[in-house]
Amino acid sequence: MKIHNYSAGPCILPKSVMEKAAESVVNYQNTGLSIVEMSHRSKEFVAVMEKAVALVRELLHVPLDYEVLFLQGGASMQFYMSALNLLPLNGSAAYINTGTWSSKAIKEAKLLGRIDEVASSKDKNFSYIPKDYAVSQEVSYLHYTTNNTIFGTQFKELPKTNARLVCDMSSDIMSKAIDVTKYDLIYAGAQKNIGPAGATLVIVKKDVLGHTGRVIPSMLDYQIHIEKESMFNTPPCFSIYTAMLTMEWLKELGGVTEIEQRNKAKAELLYQEIDTNPLFRGTAAIDDRSVMNPTFVLEDASLNDSFLHASIDAGISGIKGHRSVGGFRASMYNALELESVQVLVDVMKEFERTRG
Amino acid sequence: MKIHNYSAGPCILPKSVMEKAAESVVNYQNTGLSIVEMSHRSKEFVAVMEKAVALVRELLHVPLDYEVLFLQGGASMQFYMSALNLLPLNGSAAYINTGTWSSKAIKEAKLLGRIDEVASSKDKNFSYIPKDYAVSQEVSYLHYTTNNTIFGTQFKELPKTNARLVCDMSSDIMSKAIDVTKYDLIYAGAQKNIGPAGATLVIVKKDVLGHTGRVIPSMLDYQIHIEKESMFNTPPCFSIYTAMLTMEWLKELGGVTEIEQRNKAKAELLYQEIDTNPLFRGTAAIDDRSVMNPTFVLEDASLNDSFLHASIDAGISGIKGHRSVGGFRASMYNALELESVQVLVDVMKEFERTRG
């Protein structure tokens, strides 16, 4: 039976990418060596790293005054590292709190300076994106999380502010077109639309670095990683290689504008069912609904287990909601096909027919 | 032609492990999902993490008052993180400097306290392991690097000191039996004998944590990773899975005592040729020679290129020496077979016959 993988991350990746990656784990391009057995300084792996960086630049139209890095530690390390590199000693920054990940980012940044939580949707269990707030002219930057995997909300436009923007895009980068020039720093754990867990993408405007007055440990210093082209130490080779393959797949398919249309079509299909099927209710404010991670509940929570089993019987994997929201979460990353969404919608329709 | 992979790291891994890993990248245990597409919270991946930790405990006889962690960032991140977690505010620590990696560890630790470089072999291009030095009773710990990949030296016994020991074992952990109880903290990048790059092993004595008086960022705090069982954030799933497979291979083969004998036999074979072949000369002090990374030069450096080509013609990959030493380095990690060492020795013998 075909498995429809709705996992929130690590998550579905293209089947063709998995097949190529598997082949390279045994014998990379007929070298007789595995991609994971090669020196990261070999001409083969250096070419992989260069191509991965070039694909990020091409797919997201990254301007030349920005650097593209592949690091380790995930967004969780970036919560601290971004502030360490951008927040001056005695400086301040503004943060929008839209859920678990923003809260963690705020916690780590507070170790380094004055953090002003300018807006929060905590009052309604993070079910919406705050829109009215003022950002002081004094702050070094405004930080926000573009898409909130747990609560199923997503920024649909840029925050209205003159402040420089720092952004955690872990769960929606590469899912749609973005304007990189609007940001000083973008970071993202790879394990949604970029590739396997273990790599972290950073896109940083070069001229914002080096102004904090802090002494920064080498591994936490963007400038050192820039100078060493993401090879200050051994990089997570397999994750970067497979990210490169995934970006090649995305490019062949038509890039971020094409995938944006496909992702919208998937989200429309599912949200329409959530809105019209009387058994279900979406949990996020309609204007702020995530294209990546629709969250929904059964009006009658006592039916949760039977709906979950009905979906499992149809080959659907990973739709149990996060404990903070309950119900269900259907993460629909780039590699999930419209056909898989149709399977879920059909299960919902059938559930209404038999249980409604 | 069979490739004999002498790469210094990332490096050779067992062929059977590469085959199993490749299979799991396409379809993990018949789940219909790739190992890299699964949630790290899935019962399947949690079982992988638990087994990887259990294998470290079993293979190295890790006592119950020690914790085993799989983190990210490599030894380079541990240079800073180890000091951040073990060096109290206003405290001091002793470091032995045996080359590039020790020097980097010292540099990062100096950001956090008084670092006493109690011994160094820099005077002779790090070609030996210092043996006479005094460690103050005041230091929180003594740090050293067990094996020096670049310079081809290795500690053959524990430093003579009462100080607590902190150790970078990146390049010889799992290559021989060790007594974990002698150390407060052991760390190692995975990409030699543990598995693919991207994971970092930490073995830490629990009761030495929490006494620094420092506020530690979450991702750099061993206590948080212990509490979350290496799942504070998304772990590098593929690297940990493949490390688990590699440790299973090692266990089946007879564990660290068996591999220690095999590694010794490989080193003896190569060093004997280096010592008896008049064209070649070892660069490390004989008593301190590394079992993992023999380094050697041609007496006549003008023959370097032709020897390199002769070795490549025999299927030998990755023996060009590091620029800090020149000549050649034959890294002989666990998965390299004696047969591959014989091929290299035969090339050396033949080179003497034709060029000697």
pLDDT tens-digit series, residues B162-175: 999 999 999 999 99
CATH code (residue B286): 3.90.1150.10
* The model's pTM: 0.98
Closest to A37 (Cβ–Cβ): which among B7, B111, B234? B7
Kindly state whether residue A297 falls inside one of the protein's structural domains: yes
% of chain B exceeding 70 in pLDDT: 100
For residues A233 and A288, membership in a common domain is answered with no
For residues B248 and B261, membership in a common domain is answered with no
Kindly state whether residue B4 falls inside one of the protein's structural domains: no
pLDDT confidence of residue B149: 96
pLDDT confidence of residue A356: 80
CB contact under 8 A, B237 and A32: no
pLDDT confidence of residue A348: 98
Which residue in chain B is spatially nearest to A22 when comparing CA positions? Answer: B22
Average pLDDT, chain B: 97
Of A305, A342, A332, nearest in space to A320 by CA: A305
pLDDT confidence of residue A1: 86
The angle at the Cα of A140, spanning A135 to A144, to the nearest 5 degrees, equals 60
For residues B201 and B289, membership in a common domain is answered with no
Q: How many CA atoms lie within 13 A of A217 on its CB side?
A: 25
Kindly state whether residue B265 falls inside one of the protein's structural domains: yes
Closest to A22 (Cβ–Cβ): which among B25, B38, B197? B25
% of chain B exceeding 90 in pLDDT: 99
CA distance to A174, A195, A256, B104, B121, per residue, from A250 (Å):
9, 11, 7, 39, 51
Rounded to a whole number, what is the distance in Å from the CA of A132 to chain B's nearest CA? Answer: 31
Q: In chain A, which residues have their Cβ closer than 8 Å to the Cβ of B80?
A: 217-220
Which residue in chain B is spatially nearest to A240 when comparing CA positions? Answer: B198
Which residue in chain B is spatially nearest to A25 when comparing CA positions? Answer: B22
pLDDT confidence of residue B108: 98
The residues, ordered by sequence, that sit 6+ positions from B179 with a Cβ below 8 Å of its Cβ are none
Question: At residue A221, does pLDDT exceed 90?
Answer: yes
Yes or no: say if B164 and B88 are a contact pair by the CB < 8 Å rule. Answer: no
Name the 3-class secondary structure at B107: helix
Residue A284, phi then psi, degrees to nearest 5: -100, 150
CB contact under 8 A, B72 and A73: yes
Amino acid identity for residue A39 in this structure: S
From B194, B228, B253, give the residue that closes a domain.
B253
For residues A30 and A163, membership in a common domain is answered with yes
For residues B87 and B210, membership in a common domain is answered with yes
From A202, A231, A253, give the residue that closes a domain.
A253
> Per the structure, how many domains does chain B have?
2
Question: At residue B316, does pLDDT exceed 90?
Answer: yes
* Interatomic CA distance for residues A104 and A94, integer angstroms: 14
Tens digit of each residue's pLDDT (9 = 90 or more) over B322-355: 999 999 999 999 999 999 999 999 999 999 999 9
For residues B314 and B227, membership in a common domain is answered with no
Kindly state whether residue A10 falls inside one of the protein's structural domains: no
Question: At residue A95, does pLDDT exceed 90?
Answer: yes
Tens digit of each residue's pLDDT (9 = 90 or more) over A318-340: 999 999 999 999 999 999 999 99
For residues B271 and B195, membership in a common domain is answered with no
Of B213, B209, B210, B192, nearest in space to B201 by CA: B192
Q: What is the mean pLDDT of residues B112-126?
A: 98
Question: At residue B313, does pLDDT exceed 90?
Answer: yes
Question: At residue B131, does pLDDT exceed 90?
Answer: yes
Q: What is the mean pLDDT of residues A21-40?
A: 97
Which of A34, A81, A334 best tests the B interface by mutation, with the highest count of B CBs <10 A? A34
pLDDT confidence of residue B336: 98
For residues A229 and A301, membership in a common domain is answered with no
Yes or no: say if A184 and A89 are a contact pair by the CB < 8 Å rule. Answer: no
Kindly state whether residue B3 falls inside one of the protein's structural domains: no
CB contact under 8 A, B10 and A318: no
**Residue with tokens 């030493």, as numbered in its chain:** B325
Exposure of A137 by Cβ count < 10 A (0-12 exposed, 13-18 middle, 19+ buried)?
exposed
Kindly state whether residue B6 falls inside one of the protein's structural domains: no
State the catalytic residue, choosing from B172, B176, B184, B192: B192
pLDDT confidence of residue B1: 86
For residues A129 and A71, membership in a common domain is answered with yes
CATH code (residue B73): 3.40.640.10
Yes or no: say if A199 and A70 are a contact pair by the CB < 8 Å rule. Answer: yes
Yes or no: say if A123 and A76 are a contact pair by the CB < 8 Å rule. Answer: no
Which residue in chain B is spatially nearest to A333 when comparing CA positions? Answer: B37
Closest to B197 (Cβ–Cβ): which among A31, A215, A235? A235
For residues A23 and A93, membership in a common domain is answered with yes
- Whether B116 sits among the annotated catalytic residues: the reply is no
Beta carbons within 10 angstroms of residue B213's beta carbon: 9
For residues A35 and A177, membership in a common domain is answered with yes
Kindly state whether residue B238 falls inside one of the protein's structural domains: yes
Domain residues for A219? Answer: 15-253
Kindly state whether residue B274 falls inside one of the protein's structural domains: yes
From B238, B253, B268, give the residue that closes a domain.
B253
Tens digit of each residue's pLDDT (9 = 90 or more) over B273-308: 999 999 999 999 999 999 999 999 999 999 999 999
> A181-187: long-range contacts at Cβ-Cβ below 8 A with a sequence spacing of 24 or more?
A181/A63, A182/A158, A184/A86, A184/A141, A184/A208, A185/A82, A185/A85, A185/A86, A185/A141, A187/A75, A187/A78, A187/A82
CB contact under 8 A, B189 and A22: no
Tens digit of each residue's pLDDT (9 = 90 or more) over B225-277: 999 999 999 999 999 999 999 999 999 999 999 999 999 999 999 999 999 99
pLDDT confidence of residue B356: 80
CB contact under 8 A, A197 and B236: yes
For residues A37 and A115, membership in a common domain is answered with yes
* Interatomic CA distance for residues B149 and A108, integer angstroms: 35
Cα torsion through B90, B93, B97, B100, rounded to 10: -60
